[in-house]
Chain A
């Protein structure tokens, strides 16, 4: 009892802040500090802040930038990369960086014994990876098969030292782990050997340290921010954002639509425990498009996200500047058009209910994860929208493991509402969703041969863009994929929530970006002023 009370009091006790220290929170302890073993978001944060990578996706411009690699070239259709390293770069312990470190890292990454999730993106074919150094700063890596967006994949690969006695504790990023108290906090200290300098020639980072408090409770995190005990909150829900905006209007940041999306899809898996007549509905593009038209996306945005979201155009968020097919628009909400479309497909109204060509009442269930307030409310809104066209929607909330089991193994579901978290910009990051043979082709996965002509066309387009290094050709192919998806609606994209956060007034140089980590992506350039300016 005393221990519990003490832990509670400690959770509320403000920690002393050092000068030049930025403070924010992680929502769980990092599961690993090994940068190649990262699988959870807390470890990813540590890797982002401490790891040095060859090539970085600039979260603001969304372009690739050389970090440790001053030059690189992707060859052999994405199988081989040649790179040239910046000279005079040192790890945090003073060990110099050389091509051997990069080769060592790539070999480690591809070592099956390490079970690296980051490495999975590089395993497009069986066989060993070949690495070769032609000089201290030049080298190449040749992978057994072509790798989609090979250069961009290196954004996730923190280079390890082949020679440092400190092993993975020797880092090339702007910060290094200095202290960790599990369940409580983690301190990252400035890497004195960080290679990057600002325009005035001053060595980065500006901050002396970052303190990451481990706070699972989002309300507590918000309370601490309001009390000025943490400096930024990366990721707020719309309700918390509005609450904070009312109290501290200068602190909240809406970076605009994120890459994430909310979507609905129907079970089209042959042989799944869905009645045949329902599967016929779900396999009808007219039926899916009518459901899409019947849903009022503007109301979802206004009511559930308080305006901090955008109706989705398709699988590519408007945040993805280059790959979005700009000729597409979000479906217009029109119950009348939905009914017309359903009539053309043989459905008809019988009183207040919609019946199919065989006279069966159109009723289906939609599952979502229990405890997710936004999803539960979204389903209630969709339920009323669909009732207007005579469709009876049964809302089912399930605990998350049951939901995943149903949509990935037993296929015992009719439709599902879920969120899609997207981290990559490149269409190749979505290969496992759009190619019909893929596991994550959720509405009908693992097809031996494409089930429909439009899925066959998508397969062809996705493979052709993946094998091309010509950006314009790739864009044209992926534009067509988006067009087909808009015509067929195998997944009904509802909206893209905005990236919301809060930054206290004493943080300088903050530039919110649309890509994760939106509010500290430029951590090496963030600075902190004296005193608290938390309430405005």
Chain B
């Protein structure tokens, strides 16, 4: 692990720790509106000031980080599992199943996923608690984000199956289960891990994009996406640079994830 990667790990660890300790670090709740302190500058009480509804921006950032750092990896895990199942079996079985999955992947990739997401969200029950809504949002992201990884995994599986040592293993009469568990899965691990790590920043940014459209996490729960909407008011940002905190943290986390991903690329199993 390089020095930069160690620093990246430290950034991620600090962000995760701070978000987990949000209850201790923040002096107020993320949802409480201090209506007499609207858009207040940083102070001992509000280290990052307050937003336009008088809510403690620091508390919202910590809780928003908790949401993004917990749910984005969960969504990434879900999408990678779906991709592994579909892409892996397509590559392994070949034939009709492979054609069907490949067609499905092409179809899914050609769909305007944002509109699909909007449509699915519009169909959800209205009386969903904010916490349930955020879980559903990431669940949807996970369910819709499998196509690209599935294509990679299918290709990886095909390549592995055609490799000399697997051809030799099959010629020696190895059972299908042993071939899969002993040879195929361990060698697919780098691809699966890479797809998992790549998906995390994608989902974080997807939630941020949805938040920018006002379709992300429901009020009063904070999220990075919802907080980034404040940056639309560029003159306020110039006057109050601390408003950039969620953007800085987002960049730091996504960059750190990318740096760590390089470790996986450079050291395949």
Contact = CB atoms under 8 A, between A and B. Distances in A.
Interface of A: 219, 239, 243, 299, 303, 363-365, 367, 370-373, 376-377, 379-381, 383-384, 394-399, 402, 412-414
A243 B240 CA distance: 14
Interface stretch (B5-13, B123-131, B181-189, B244-252): B123-131
Interface in B6-41: 31, 33, 35, 38
Q: Which of B31, B53, B219: most chain A CB closer than 10 A?
A: B219
Given A370-B214, A370-B215, A399-B215, A394 B126 contact: yes
B127 A379 contact: no
A372 B229 CA distance: 11
A525 B235 CA distance: 35
Given A370-B215, A394-B130, 13 more contacts: A219-B234, A243-B235, A299-B35, A303-B54, A365-B127, A380-B53, A380-B220, A383-B219, A383-B220, A384-B31, A399-B118, A399-B122, A399-B215
A51 to B, nearest CB: 37
Given A303-B35, A372-B214, A373-B229, A380 B219 contact: yes
A99 B24 CA distance: 80
Contacts of A299: 35
Contacts of B31: 384
B126 A367 contact: yes
A232 B218 CA distance: 37
A396 B218 contact: yes
Nearest to B51: A377
B93 to A, nearest CB: 40
A395 B229 contact: no
A383 B218 CA distance: 12
19 contacts: A219-B234, A303-B38, A363-B127, A365-B127, A371-B214, A376-B219, A377-B52, A379-B219, A380-B33, A384-B31, A384-B33, A394-B128, A394-B218, A395-B219, A396-B218, A398-B121, A399-B122, A402-B118, A413-B126
Nearest to A244: B235
A303 B122 contact: no
B220 A394 contact: no
Interface string B218-235: 111000000001001111
Nearest to B32: A384
Contacts of B235: 243
B70 interface: no
Nearest to B118: A399
A353 to B, nearest CB: 14
A377 B233 contact: no
Nearest to B210: A370
A372 B33 CA distance: 20
Nearest to B218: A395
Contacts, number: 68
Q: Which of B31, B214, B215: most chain A CB closer than 10 A?
A: B214
B234 to A, nearest CB: 8
Contacts of A370: 213-215
Interface string B38-56: 1000000000000011100
Contacts of B38: 303
A239 B215 contact: no
A394 B217 CA distance: 12
B98 to A, nearest CB: 37
A394 B31 CA distance: 14
A287 B127 CA distance: 19
A383 B129 CA distance: 13
Given A365-B126, A377-B53, A239 B218 contact: no
Interface residues of B, number: 26
Contacts of A381: 33, 53
The 5 closest A-B pairs by CB, nearest first: A402-B122, A365-B126, A370-B214, A395-B219, A380-B219
Nearest to A395: B219
A304 to B, nearest CB: 8
Contacts of A367: 126
Interface string B195-224: 000000000000000000111001110000
Contacts of A413: 126
A376 B214 contact: yes
Q: Which of B54, B122, B215, B220: most chain A CB closer than 10 A?
A: B122
A299 B215 CA distance: 25
Contacts of A379: 219
Given A243-B235, A384-B33, A396 B126 contact: yes
Contacts of A243: 233, 235
A397 B214 contact: yes
Contacts of B233: 239, 243
Interface in B31-89: 31, 33, 35, 38, 52-54
Interface in B113-169: 118, 121-122, 126-130
A239 B38 CA distance: 13
Contact of B215 (A380, A397, A414): A397
A396 B133 CA distance: 9
A372 B219 CA distance: 14
B124 to A, nearest CB: 9
Nearest to A382: B219
A524 to B, nearest CB: 36
A373 B33 CA distance: 17
Contacts of A383: 219-220
B31 to A, nearest CB: 8
Given A381-B33, A399-B122, A364 B127 contact: yes
Contacts of B130: 394-395
Contacts of A396: 126, 128, 218
Nearest to A399: B118
B122 A398 contact: yes
Contacts of A377: 52-53
Q: Which of A363, A373, A412: most chain B CB closer than 10 A?
A: A373
Given A394-B128, A414-B127, A371 B35 contact: no
Nearest to B132: A394
Contacts of B52: 303, 377
A303 B52 CA distance: 7
Contacts of B118: 399, 402
Contact of A394 (B121, B122, B129): B129
A397 B229 CA distance: 15
A497 B52 CA distance: 18
Contacts of B214: 370-373, 376, 397
A366 to B, nearest CB: 9
B62 to A, nearest CB: 19
A118 to B, nearest CB: 33
Q: Which of A381, A396, A397, A414: most chain B CB closer than 10 A?
A: A396
A383 B122 CA distance: 21
B210 to A, nearest CB: 9
B128 A303 contact: no
Contact of B53 (A303, A395, A398): A303
Contacts of B121: 398
B237 to A, nearest CB: 12
A16 B53 CA distance: 43
A394 B127 contact: yes
B85 to A, nearest CB: 32
Contacts of B126: 365, 367, 394, 396, 412-414
A215 to B, nearest CB: 17
